[in-house]
Structures are given as structure tokens and as C-alpha cells.
Homo-oligomer: A and B are copies of this chain.
Amino acid sequence: MTTPATDRPGYADRKGAVQMRLRRIEGQVRGLQRMIDEDTYCMDVLTQISAVSRALESVAIALLDDHLHSCVTTAVSEQDADLDAKLDEAMAAIRRLVRS
């Protein structure tokens, strides 16, 4: 009998890198506010919004990548009975990402 999967998230090993990316995104959002304050031309604001969207999307994809690898590795070593449920859950997240 194995212990259940701990609460250690799939991204545990690169928490620092994820945080750094999120802080950079926070800075970009503040940059957007400055652009609006300074009456920046719409099209330039839009270009910057597309850059922030892509940055967020990249974080999402990195987290999903870690998650799939880690939950599948756990499943293989522990014959995790919940694997199907976990994959369904991951697919729901993928569906939201594809649609958003």
C-alpha cells in the first residue's frame, strides 16, 4: 500500500522561476496602466496586451507540463487509482486554455 500523493504541487521544483515570471507579468500590467495614464496610442497598448497574454499563456503551459509529468509519474509508481480522474481534470484545464 502506498501513501497517497502528497500536497506537493507539480511545479514545486521550479517555484522560483514561476514566481519570477509572475512578477514580471505584474510589472507589465502596471506598465499598461502607465500607458493608459499617458494617453498612449491604442494600437501600442494592444500590442503590449498581446505580449502580456502570451506571457501568461506560457506560465499556464509550463504549469500544465509540470503537472502532467508529476501526476503521471506518481500514477506509474503508485498505481494511482485516481489517474483517470486526474487526466479528466487536466483535460478540462486544457479545454479552458484552448478556448481562452
Contact = CB atoms under 8 A, between A and B. Distances in A.
Q: Report the copy number of this chain in the oligomer.
A: 4
Contacts of A63: 42, 45-46, 49
Interface of A: 7-12, 15, 18-19, 22-23, 25-26, 29-30, 32-33, 36-37, 39-43, 45-47, 49-50, 52-54, 56-57, 59-61, 63-69, 72-73, 75-76, 79, 83-84, 87, 89-100
30 contacts: A7-B39, A11-B42, A11-B45, A12-B39, A18-B36, A22-B36, A23-B33, A26-B29, A26-B33, A42-B63, A46-B60, A47-B96, A49-B56, A49-B60, A50-B60, A50-B96, A50-B97, A52-B56, A53-B56, A61-B91, A61-B98, A69-B84, A69-B87, A75-B76, A76-B76, A76-B79, A76-B83, A94-B94, A97-B98, A99-B99
